[in-house]
Each structure stands twice: as C-alpha cells, then as structure tokens.
Amino acid sequence: MKTRSLALTGVFLGALALSGCKVGPNYKVPAMPAPPAYSDNGHNGDWATAKPADGVDRGMWWAVFQDPELNKLEQRCATANQNIAAALHAYEQAHDLVRENKAALYPTVSLGAGVSRNGVSSNAPLRPVNGATSYWDFLIPLTISWEPDLWGGVRRQIESSAANAQATSADLANTQLSLQGLLAVTFIQVRGIDLQAQLLRSTIDAFTQALQLTEDRLKGGLSSDSDVQQAKAQLEETRAQLIDLEVQREQFEHAIAVLIGEPATGFHIAERPIVGDPPSIPTGIPSELLERRPDIAAAERRVASANALIGVAKSAYYPSVFLGASGGVQSTSIGNIFTANSAQWNAGPSVNEVIFDAGRRRAQMDFAIAQREQATALYREQVLSAFRDVEDQLSALRVLQQEAVVQGRAVDAAKLSTELSTLRYKRGLAPYLEVLTNQTIELNDERLAASLVSRRIVASAQLQMALGGGWSSTQLPPN
C-alpha cells in the first residue's frame, strides 16, 4: 500500500513538473523601430544604388566581384582560419551545455558494487553472539534520485542556455562574415595596388623617354644639364614609389595568408590590376537588417538568455521537492547475495524550503534583471550601429562615384596640359620645369583616380558586410 502511494505521488509530481508551470517573465523581443528606408539609398542627384540581384548566391556574397582566385581564397578561409575554428568550438561548447541542462529534467540512476572485510571488537557492546570478530560484506547498491522541475527553474535554465547557444551560432556567423569580409577587402586592395603599379610602370616608361629627350637636347645645345638632372630625379622618384607599392603589396599578401590559415612565407598572389565599377548590391529595407545581421541576432539572443535567468532566480523562492529511492542486495556470503533475503530498499520524498537567506535570493533576482536590461541596451546599440554602417557605405559609394567623375576630368585636363607643355618644350617655347610640373600633376591625378577604383569596390564589399552578407536569422539552430 505504501509502495502504491509513493508511486502515485511520483506520478502526480511528474505530471505537475511537465505541465508547463514556469515562473519568471516570458520573453518578448525588445522594441526597436526601424526607418522605412535608408536616407542615402540613391535619392540624391543622379546616383543610384544597386538593383536587385536575385540570381546571386547570397551565401557566397563575394562572388559578385567575379574573381575566381578570390572565390578560392574565401573557401580556404572558411575551412582553415583559426579564429573561425575557435568560434565553431565555442558554439559546440554552448550546445553541449544545453544538453547538460536538459539532463536535469530526468532522474539520476547509479549502480555500484563493493566488498569489504570487516573486523568487530570483542569488547563492543553489540558484538556478535556467536563470537565471530570478522566477516565479509558484499554489497550491490542501486540509487535513484529526482528533483521534479515543479516551478520551471530547470526549463528556464534550458531556455537560457539554448538562447545562448543560438547567440554563439550567430557569433560564429559574424566571425565568418568579418574575416571573409576582411579577406575580400584586403584582396581588392592588392588588386588596387596592382593597378597603381601598372600605372607607375607606364609612367616610368614615359619619364624614361622624357629623360632621353632632355639628354638629346643637351647634346644639341638646346637644353641645360639642370633639365637632365631634373628628369633623372623625377624618374628615380617614380621608381621609388613603385618599390614602396611592392612593400605594401607584400604586407597585404601576408595578411591574406594568415586569414586562410597558411604561413606568410612563400605565399603569393598573381598580379592582376583591378578593373570595372562596383557591382550592384541589393540593400532591401532597414527592417530586414534586424534579420540579416548575425551580430544583431547574437545580441537579441543574449537578451532572451538573460530574460530566462530571471525565472531561474525566481524559482529559488519556491520549495524544492526530491524523490529518492535506493535498494540493492547485501550479504556476508557471496553465495547468498542474490537471494530474496538479501534484498534491501528504501524510498520516499523530501521537501526543502529556505526560510532565511539574508536577502541572497533577492540579490540574485535583481542581478538577473540588471543583466537583462544590460543585454537589452547592448542589443539596441548594436541595431543603431548596424543602421549607421549601412548608411556610411551607401554614402561612401555615392560620394566616391561623384569624386571619380570629377577626378576623371582632372586626369583628362592634366594629360592635355602635359602634352601641350611637352610640345612647347620641344619647340623651345617653355622651360623643362613646366613639363616637369605638369607631369607630376598628371601622375598624382592618375594615381588618385586609380585609388578611387579600388576604394569604390572596397566600399561595395563593406556594404555587403554591413548588410549581413548572405546570412539570415533563419539559419539559427532551433531551440
């Protein structure tokens, strides 16, 4: 009868534990209004942003740059970068913690075995009647214990750890986005250096011809040695600029080597100048950004995790109920250990309630609430920063395009000025200093125009990153 009552009690408590009672606030996503449209989304002047590119694989967002070598490097970065590997292991740890917390919903069962030789004092008050002072003790115990989750504290802890696991999954995605974005930007900068190097080599050829002209005119008595030395100085200075570009290029190559998990020694990227305009990037509407940025998703999931911990803290105010049972067999003779007379058992519930803790539980509750408010503030700040990132890159693309148009006119004017001054110099109507000045202006303008090509494409890559690449919150693992 007692056994039946105990079983019924266990069934009742188990049903109560699974009935869904969970103390603490249910989670609601913090309110964060989004503007209806980006303020710099192509509504100023003749500049227009990207048109939808629905045919592009958004997971491989760097493919829009149509560079096979960049595609290969990005794949190597995803599989070999050590920071990405570390973020992956962080997610695995968070997932394992969810499994550990879920185990608390179920009973713990343990089985043991022991054997001992015991000696009893002959002078003990309860010494054996038969006079034996030593005996064997064979024991095989079985213990079952369970604390029903009556108030939902364990389920809130699972809820918290699951949200945290989702946050670490978003952290992993954000790490991949950041590092693969850095790789794309660095690679584009390498290609931009190749464009400037190509420009400097052609300029060196032109300056070499200019030097030959001054030397020929010196031989004919039409020029001075000062003109020759000025031409030599300009030529060598341009060669020095080319060498400086080589230093920068090697440093970018070394950075890329680290990003793809390779030693910098011996790593090289074939030279190929960058060409073309920035690709079209679909921006969507600002409200979509809340689902497309992994850093925003991570911040929001940490709010959910902190909110669940309030329920964990609140469950400490309620009584703890334990169900336990133990049994097994025990005998002084191994031959009798599995007989019915060797069986022993005990079972029963226990309840524990803290009467006084000097405000410890209240402090834990306040601490959990403060954690949630902190996480909420960080989430809202992350959203504001994300909107700013997109606006920054949209503005950069617009301004850089306008600058490129103006700079193109400056290059055309500088080239014409150099041609005219060179013609005047050949006819003896202008000093070589005029030619030298115009050549320097032309080179500076052309280098600035070349740098604008890479800067515009870099800005498009950074816009991709600001928009979350090809990521979406739908890729988060389920709770």
For residue 11 the two structure tokens come to 């069934």
Is pLDDT above 60 for 424?
yes
Q: What percent of the chain has pLDDT over 90?
A: 71
| Amino acid code (one letter) for 110 | S
What's the whole-model pTM score? 0.86
**Could you please report the per-residue DSSP string of 395-436?**
HHHHHHHHHHHHHHHHHHHHHHHHHHHHHHHHTTSS-HHHHH
Is pLDDT above 70 for 215?
yes
- Which carries the bigger pLDDT value, residue 114 or residue 282? 114
Question: In the 8-state DSSP scheme, what is residue 107?
Answer: -
Residue 56 confidence (pLDDT): 41
Q: DSSP E strands: which ranges in 38-133?
A: 108-111, 114-119
Q: What is the pLDDT of residues 99-149, one digit of tens each?
A: 999 999 999 999 999 999 988 777 777 666 666 678 888 999 999 999 999
For tokens 């030397």, the residue is 215
The second-level CATH assignment, the architecture, of 22-104+150-318+359-475 is: Up-down Bundle (1.20)
Q: What is the pLDDT of residues 289-306, one digit of tens each?
A: 999 999 999 999 999 999
- Which carries the bigger pLDDT value, residue 175 or residue 336? 175
> Average pLDDT in the 453-461 region?
96
Is pLDDT above 80 for 5?
no
Q: What is the pLDDT of residues 20-76, one digit of tens each?
A: 588 999 999 999 888 888 887 654 444 343 333 334 445 789 999 999 999 999 999
Burial 31-46 (b: 16+ CB within 10 A, else e): ebeeeeebebbbeeee
Is pLDDT above 50 for 314?
yes
Residue 44 confidence (pLDDT): 44
Task: Identify the CA nearest to 289 among candidates 165, 166, 473, 458.
Answer: 473
Residue 129 confidence (pLDDT): 62
**Domain limits, the chain:** 22-104+150-318+359-475
Residue 470 confidence (pLDDT): 84
